[in-house]
Amino acid sequence: MSAENLYGLAAIAGLALVTLIARTFFMLPERELPMPDWLKRGLKYAPLAALTAVIAPEVLMTQGALVNTLQDARLPAVLCACAYYFWRRGILGTIVAGMAVYLPLHIGWGW
């Protein structure tokens, strides 16, 4: 077995160990860990912040640069999806509304 293969296997084993420890860390204590109230309130916004961090660059950027034209199918799709969400508060309908605008613009008109 070559040195490269050994390094690769060691890296995989190390990453698996770190993942295992990180995911089981909160299951090890027998009782709930005490947290300050400000931290509990802040953790409520963590999923929204993570979702925004993933979606915003995908919508606002193309190949590492900001979108520089309004003829991008993602922009009207996001606006319609947001409008639907604020109107009905439904996740599935939001996805359907966004895709109903995005697909015709992107596939049909080539935006």
Global pTM value: 0.60
CA-based nearest residue to 80, from 99, 60, 57, 63: 99
Q: Which one is predicted more confidently, 12 or 32?
A: 12
Query: How far apart, in Å, do the first and last CA atoms of the chain sit?
Result: 51
The CA-based dihedral angle spanning residues 103, 104, 109, 111, taken in that order and rounded to the nearest 10 degrees: -30
Q: What is the pLDDT of residue 79?
A: 95
Task: Tell me what the pLDDT averaged over the chain comes to.
Answer: 90
pLDDT tens profile 20-74: 988 888 777 788 878 899 999 998 998 889 988 998 998 889 888 888 888 899 9
Q: How far is the CA of 32 from the CAs of 28, 71, 72, in angstroms?
A: 10, 51, 48
Q: Is residue 16 over pLDDT 80?
A: yes
